[in-house]
Amino acid sequence: MYRQGFDNEKYLNQQFENILERVKEYDGKLYLEFGGKLMYDFHAARVLPGYDPNVKVKLLSRLKDDADIIIAIYAGDIERKKMRADFGITYDMECLKLIDDFKRWELNVAGVVITRYEGQPAATQFKNKLERRGIKTYTHGYTKGYPTDINKVVSEEGYGANPYIETEKKLVIVTAPGPGSGKLATCLNQLYHDSVRGKKSGYAKFETFPVWNMPLNHPVNIAYESATADLKDFNVIDPFHLGAYNKTTVNYNRDVDSFPLLKRILEKITGEESVYQSPTDMGVNMVGYGIIDDDVVRHASHQEIIRRCFVYECEYMKGLVDKETVERAELIMDNLGLAKEDRVVVTPAREAAKGCKHNNPDIISCGAAIMLKEGTIITGKNSEIMNATSSVVLNAIKHMAKIPDNIYLLTPSIIESIIALKKRLKENFEALSLQETLIALSISATSNHTAKVALETLEELSGCELHCTHMLIPGDESEIRKIGIRLTSDPLFPSNDLYMK
């Protein structure tokens, strides 16, 4: 059953006021680094039920008359085609998507900066693509002298060697497709150039996690550690804040480790003592004040920790993460006394797999279970006609539309036609994928009122929890994301074949 644990509007208002106060502190510009995802922050939505995944961009829309946006992307991530897991797209494609999304929100993108650029072919191609579409694009190389020679870093040889990104507004948002993209370096580069031009500008960081004013071991903060297990981040008590103010706050290791150096660079750029005594001081983070039901948030965070463990196990099987990442995620679960079966859809999915019947020895018996928002659990399994994902989605929408089990939604001739085509094309799997099933359902709905009624309930699956006893084929995984279902899978391939599509 859905329960709200977070007040989105309360958070939005407090964060808005906090940013405005920071902007007023500087005669020049405020460069606001956005940590985490600026748009579609589904991790936050999962651990804070009630949180709007796009609350940050809604906040910016309130500030659009006073804000420009810079998008930073690391050249190495373009070259190695790094993926944003929740969308299944590469960072360069995510950059393009961000630009399109900002335009729809009427937010001005001042430019894209490719960081740590060394002439990488894929990064050069991406730069050309942007420029030929009318997007201002800049390249920044490695900063000479960083991190040991501050005098060289803050000089014409260091930040001065990189071009200045022209902006018009007083607030400049620096965001990126993901971590390690060079947002901080971009902010410092801009601060240096503003200083040379006689402008007194400032830097701050928009953070969501870890939540600075919640306990170190609160499940919300631990869920952040689980989400970044592949980066080997971990939360710590901010020693600088404790020393300066005798107050206990939470930050994460990289910000704490880099603070002394960052403070020295800021003081070198401005020629003044830094206004910041700790990395916590730099953050603009009111998310803790939006929590209205701690029990709900704790439960949601526990579920996210379990979910992340499943994700890492599957990524390990695909060769995307190392064993250490999986072990770290498992250790976090163990420390909280959590088991995978605490995710309520896991056991029903595994039970459903036991009832599979098919004749192909290369196909593994697969089951799936989805929990609807009112708490009902619906199961499905693979067959000669459709895979487990298709089965569970059809069963779920039939249940929500109150259609009896013995009534079929798909027109038999459409199913037969799709399977015959797949045979001709020598597809790996003849059974209908989720995408094929939904297409067949939409066609059936043109002449079958029952199918039409069922199809209209599809959007109600957004936010529901789904577990499969196998890893989904890429097409099914993409469809599940589009619907908005929260997916986990056991780390098993759906077939003994090595090549799947």
| Phi/psi at 201 (5° precision) | -110, 170
Which of 153, 177, 208 delimits the end of a domain?
Answer: 208
Give the tens place of pLDDT for each residue, 19-71: 999 999 898 999 999 877 788 889 999 999 999 999 988 998 898 888 999 99
The CATH number of the domain where 381 resides is what? 3.40.140.40
Give the tens place of pLDDT for each residue, 167-209: 999 999 999 998 889 999 999 999 999 999 999 999 999 989 9
Full residue range of the structural domain in which residue 203 is found: 8-208
Residues 104 and 100: their CA atoms lie apart, in Å, by: 6
57 and 202 assigned to the same domain: yes
Which of 208, 242, 263 delimits the end of a domain?
Answer: 208
Structure tokens at 387: 């895979």
Q: Is residue 494 part of a domain?
A: no
Domain total of the chain: 2
3-state secondary structure 327-383: HHHHHHHHHCCCCHHHCCCHHHHHHHHCCCCCCCCCECCCEEEEECCCCCEEEEECC
Which of 163, 184, 208 delimits the end of a domain?
Answer: 208
Q: What is the pLDDT of residue 180?
A: 84
Structure tokens at 72: 């930073």
Give the tens place of pLDDT for each residue, 125-171: 999 999 999 999 999 999 999 988 999 999 999 999 999 999 999 99
Q: Is residue 326 part of a domain?
A: no
The CATH number of the domain where 87 resides is what? 3.10.630.10
Structure tokens at 462: 């957004």
3-state secondary structure 170-186: CEEEEECCCCCCCHHHH
Least confident range from 307-321, 407-421, 453-467, 476-490: namely: 407-421
pTM: 0.89
Give the tens place of pLDDT for each residue, 340-389: 999 999 999 999 998 776 666 666 789 999 999 999 999 999 888 889 99
Residues 173 and 187: their CA atoms lie apart, in Å, by: 9
Peptide bond connecting 361 to the previous residue in cis, omega within 30 degrees of 0: no
Q: Is residue 216 part of a domain?
A: no
Q: Is residue 166 part of a domain?
A: yes
